[in-house]
């Protein structure tokens, strides 16, 4: 089953706080095909690797910068410089209404010190490890909320593409898949910004499935939420339009009515026949694939 693509979702996020250097190094050691980077801009236009445009759910921002919240009560990455962001301590994702960990059996809250880093720093980590180990693991950045950034006067896509180009990611032969939920932005990236990387349209709503023929005009693959595989002809349309399918997100804690994580993996990877998956536990998925004839 070596033809399946395994993407370390936010790194080895089932074991260490997501999008930290430690989490990415652990993911690398598991030898997935790609490691994911969610990207948000800082106040000084530095692409930061963090899943949310907010800081409250994964850092101690309220402790250090209590007066920097916006009117909605949230703390935004874009309101802090890169130097300020580096002073924050990253922890496991919490529910901000309760302050409790979303996944209570993962890395303990408040233990050890983890920090934020830039997209450039993460690329240097992965490319450095590729050189020192001889492996060739790719990157899988996601441009987060381009319209929000545009409203703040920043062109996140243009900035991210500049970083990718600086580190040698310019064509479909390079190990870089660029993803986004915003179809209009992906179309702009392909046409106006002349990007020749592999592009992936993320999908979360059943109503988007009818747009797959349109997506095929400018993307190379689809990244659907797992639930869409159960209720649609998504796989048939993807195959018809020569698009690969990387489904998100497989977690050992979320079995989706399966009897075990192996049963879930069998359903998604074998029965549904997706080309790859995003997973918080890349080692478990790789172990499963090594056991499947």
Is 9 part of the annotated catalytic residue set? yes
Q: Are 66 and 88 in contact (CB under 8 A)?
A: no
**C-alpha triplet 46, 50, 55: angle, nearest 5°:** 95
Candidate list 9, 54, 117, 149, residue with the active-site label: 9
Alpha-carbon span 236 to 176, nearest angstrom: 25
Is 31 part of the annotated catalytic residue set? no
Candidate list 19, 51, 91, 149, residue with the active-site label: 51
Q: What are phi and psi of 47, to 5 degrees?
A: -65, 120
**C-alpha triplet 161, 159, 148: angle, nearest 5°:** 115
Q: What are phi and psi of 200, to 5 degrees?
A: -130, 125
| DSSP code, position 3 | T
Q: Are 11 and 18 in contact (CB under 8 A)?
A: yes
Task: Say which residue the tokens 């909320």 belong to.
Answer: 145
| Residue 174: both structure tokens together | 């390079």
Q: Are 18 and 42 in contact (CB under 8 A)?
A: no
Strand partners for 224: 203
Q: C-alpha distances in angstroms, 151 versus 86, 125, 156, 191, 278?
A: 25, 32, 11, 21, 30
Strand partners for 245: 222
List residues with catalytic annotation. Answer: 9, 51
């Amino acid at each position: 089953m070596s033809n399946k693509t395994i993407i370390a979702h936010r790194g080895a996020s089932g074991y260490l706080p997501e999008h930290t250097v430690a989490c990415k190094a652990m993911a690398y050691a598991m030898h997935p095909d790609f490691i994911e980077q969610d990207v948000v801009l800082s106040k000084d236009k530095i692409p930061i690797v963090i899943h949310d445009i907010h800081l409250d759910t994964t850092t101690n921002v309220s402790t250090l910068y209590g007066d920097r919240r916006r009117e909605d009560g949230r703390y935004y990455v874009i309101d802090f410089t890169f130097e300020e962001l580096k002073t924050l301590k990253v922890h496991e994702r919490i529910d901000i209404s309760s302050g409790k960990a979303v996944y209570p059996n993962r890395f303990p809250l408040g233990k050890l010190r983890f920090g934020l880093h830039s997209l450039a720093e993460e690329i240097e980590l992965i490319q450095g490890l590729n050189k020192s180990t001889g492996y060739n693991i790719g990157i899988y950045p996601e441009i987060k909320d381009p319209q929000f950034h545009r409203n703040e006067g920043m062109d996140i896509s243009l900035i991210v593409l500049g970083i990718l180009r600086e580190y040698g990611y310019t064509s479909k032969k390079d190990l870089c898949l660029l993803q986004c939920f915003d179809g209009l932005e992906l179309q702009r990236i392909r046409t106006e910004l002349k990007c020749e990387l592999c592009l992936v349209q993320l999908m979360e709503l059943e109503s988007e499935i009818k747009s797959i023929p349109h997506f095929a005009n400018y993307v190379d693959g689809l990244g659907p939420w797992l639930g869409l595989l159960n209720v649609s002809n998504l796989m048939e349309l993807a195959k018809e339009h020569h698009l690969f399918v990387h489904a998100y997100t497989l977690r050992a804690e979320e079995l989706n009515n399966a009897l075990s994580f192996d049963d879930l993996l069998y359903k998604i990877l074998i029965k549904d026949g997706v080309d790859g998956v995003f997973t918080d536990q890349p080692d478990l998925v790789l172990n499963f694939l090594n056991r499947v004839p």
